[in-house]
Amino acid sequence: MEKEQKHHTPVGPVEEATGGDGVKKGRRQSSRESNRRGQEDSRREREQSEWEEKIIQVRRVTKVVKGGKKLSFRAVVAVGNGKGQVGIGIGKAAEVIVAIQKGVSDARKSMINVPLINTSIPHQIVGKQGSSRILLKPAAKGTGVIAGGAARAVLELAGVGDIMSKSLGSRSPLNVARATVNGLKELRTFERAASLRGITLKQMLN
């Protein structure tokens, strides 16, 4: 009897360690759930990484109300994915962070599509907003973004890699940014111009 007990004593723990199906299944389920969560997190990170944000201007604004002045912040934010989509938004709040968040949400509501040819724009155009005007000219590959301030932020977020620009009017950051967006919005591809004229692309080029 003592030999049988010695022979059968290791069977119990071995079955619990190796033959326990519940333990193995539990481990597989936990690994699958972790993989799914990791995939979902990576997808969210990719979606968020596609959109970039740049703060163009943050100003402190005062509003005269009954009993004194009310202080708040105004943030001008540009949002783009670098693939031909860009937008500008304005946010106002008592805190800077909240104003930036409102500006980002406002910018995503006013997205425009920019027609690009390789890394430049299809043709020359002048964007206008109020007393601000900005000249946008296509450039050869390797030129880079020749622009400053608000115009550079908008062009880079739109995915334009080679362009020349010149501010011709007021240099207010908000108006310059809106003028740049106005110019990019008015751009047309050759196919679009030919369809508007009612002719083929070959006829227009000839």
Tell me the pLDDT tens digit for each residue of 138-171.
999 999 999 988 999 999 999 999 999 999 999 9
pLDDT given at position 44: 59
143 residue type, one letter = T
pLDDT given at position 199: 83
110 residue type, one letter = S
pLDDT given at position 39: 64
pLDDT given at position 167: 93
pLDDT given at position 49: 66
Name the token pair of 102.
């409102």
pLDDT given at position 47: 54
Q: Which domains does the chain have, with CATH numbers?
A: 52-191 (3.30.230.10)
Q: How far is CA 150 from CA 40, 94, 132, 165, 183, in A?
A: 35, 24, 12, 12, 14
**Which DSSP symbol is given to 2?**
H
Q: Where are the extended beta strands (E) located within 47-100?
A: 52-65, 68-80, 85-93
**Which DSSP symbol is given to 117?**
B
DSSP string, 174-203: HHHHHHHHHHHHT---HHHHHHHHTS-HHH
Task: Show the low-confidence residues of the chain (pLDDT under 50).
Answer: 1-29
